[in-house]
Chain A
């Protein structure tokens, strides 16, 4: 009833596993599994490839079909999209927002994680529950009053204002992740330094931070990605086109009067490229951090 191609390869693998390889050798799957997995890969990547093709078409060619290869490759579309969609300014603003968010979150979460992992504070468990509750509150619940507060404080329509919001949204989870990282660092290092008379700040900067940097890299990547892609708060809290992150520059361009979908596609490719490159370079760290978020950070 299930998979007709299964029995034979499994039998083969069974004998093989007894004969030679030891580790994980039970894993066995026929060509059928590979076919399905490849189809899923095409489902995942095909749309992005089509998007790239559309970015390279002329307007007329796009209008005929959005599902075909371009006949002539219009690389100039990228330049035109860069200029008309204001992508340069958008990317620069996103860089400010992402770097600001990452630095602030690493600082805030680093301090808190250190306190939770190493300094014996009362109510640490209660605090962790608090963090979990706060981070599960829907953004929509506090969006409207936050908008009023930010307007009053002069933080509305500023990048700093958005950075602070992102830090508030992303730091609880980053703290939990970093905390579990820091718990894994052997305590002996610090005990030794403490005996030598180092104070808490020195301990943090000399011992804990250098050892916890993979954890920091992970939270930097996940918060950076979230800040780069975030939409609800960006569209609510940034109005001035000169301060828009690239997500809004792209959104505005897409909603605009010139519905040149080849140029919109080109702008979209420009927007996803930096994160795609970063992801492919550091995919192990990305995936580990994001898998941890799905495992409940525990």
Chain B
């Protein structure tokens, strides 16, 4: 009897202790993320400048967004950005990882080499490529183009530079996922005479589907948050040709002092992420994927 009671007290104590241990994480998250995110929703319905008071103006900011050429231009570029990042780095990452699973030597060496650009800071990466692409002394001079200065090339150039730092990350993650596939599957396929390409599509790709789907999801979300490379390389120019939602938001908030309007852009960005995540969850349930 006595024993059981003390055990019950013990469990309750541990629960209390548990929440005490959670407290720092909850506190930091509430202060840094949750409260500002909630106030962003509130401010998006006001004419707030970014400092001082705010007047409620209903959906005016959102109505304004639909007519705002800069916003729609940024949104369109984010969509192009997403398409690029769903295709080019994904293909490079899958190819690199699959090729690495099929070699006997230097696998670890290649993996480390591919990963190095990922650890280089975005500001430095931007600088590295700015000098390589330079129209006077770099590749631009050889090809007689101005990759970052020509409005029809600039967005692709920035995406290319960002991808350079990104695809190695995908190689590492895909390789980790591919190493979880049982070798016996490949051996059986080999017996049946399936070549490397067949094996990739019928064993490797299905075998890493959870990772593939997750990274596809994250690619879409991250593509709508991209900021650094545009800000450092082109600041959205020339002539708005590389503007993204994030750079429009940044300009509205900190140069144009339209805190409420910028908040509305932030809320739209969060809604896009939310729609993508919900869509993914629904798809996962309908298709019965298990992760």
Contact = CB atoms under 8 A, between A and B. Distances in A.
- A and B together in one complex: yes
Interface stretch (B23-31, B63-71, B82-90, B145-153): B23-31
B266 A171 contact: no
Interface string B254-266: 1000010011011
B28 A168 contact: yes
Chain A CB within 10 Å, residue with most, of B18, B31, B173, B197: B18
Interface in B1-58: 11, 14-15, 17-19, 21-25, 28-29, 31-37, 39-40, 43, 50-51
Given A111-B21, A144-B40, A41 B114 contact: yes
A8 B167 CA distance: 30
A6 B198 CA distance: 13
B172 A291 contact: yes
A37 B24 contact: no
B121 A2 contact: no
B62 interface: no
A37 B99 contact: yes
Given A121-B19, A136-B273, A143-B266, A287 B172 contact: yes
Contacts of B103: 27, 29, 33-34, 37
Interface in A173-208: 175, 200
Interface residues of B, number: 106
B17 A119 contact: yes
A19 interface: no
Contacts of B76: none
Interface stretch (A69-77, A212-220, A247-255): A247-255
A63 B183 CA distance: 53
B264 to A, nearest CB: 10
A149 B122 contact: no
B186 A26 contact: yes
B114 A138 contact: no
B120 A48 contact: yes
Interface string A143-157: 111111101000000
A76 B143 CA distance: 32
A191 to B, nearest CB: 12
A283 B24 CA distance: 30
Contacts, number: 309
A36 to B, nearest CB: 6
A171 B273 contact: no
Contacts of A2: 195-197
Contacts of B231: 231-232, 235
Interface in A262-297: 264-265, 268, 271-272, 275-276, 279-280, 283, 286-287, 290-291, 294-296
A287 B111 contact: yes
Interface string A108-139: 11011011100111100001000100101111
Contact of A264 (B100, B127, B164): B127
B43 A145 contact: yes
Contacts of A107: 24
Interface string B166-183: 001110110111000001
13 contacts: A50-B131, A51-B128, A67-B139, A109-B25, A134-B29, A136-B221, A142-B33, A142-B36, A148-B259, A172-B29, A232-B228, A254-B127, A279-B115
What 10 A-B pairs come out closest when comparing CB atoms? A168-B32, A294-B173, A119-B18, A142-B36, A121-B18, A141-B266, A115-B21, A112-B25, A229-B121, A291-B176
Interface of B: 11, 14-15, 17-19, 21-25, 28-29, 31-37, 39-40, 43, 50-51, 92, 96, 99-104, 106, 110-124, 127-129, 131-132, 134, 136-139, 141-142, 164, 168-170, 172-173, 175-177, 183, 186-187, 190, 195-197, 210-211, 214-215, 218, 221, 224-225, 227-228, 231-232, 245-246, 249-250, 253-254, 259, 262-263, 265-267, 269-270, 273, 277, 291
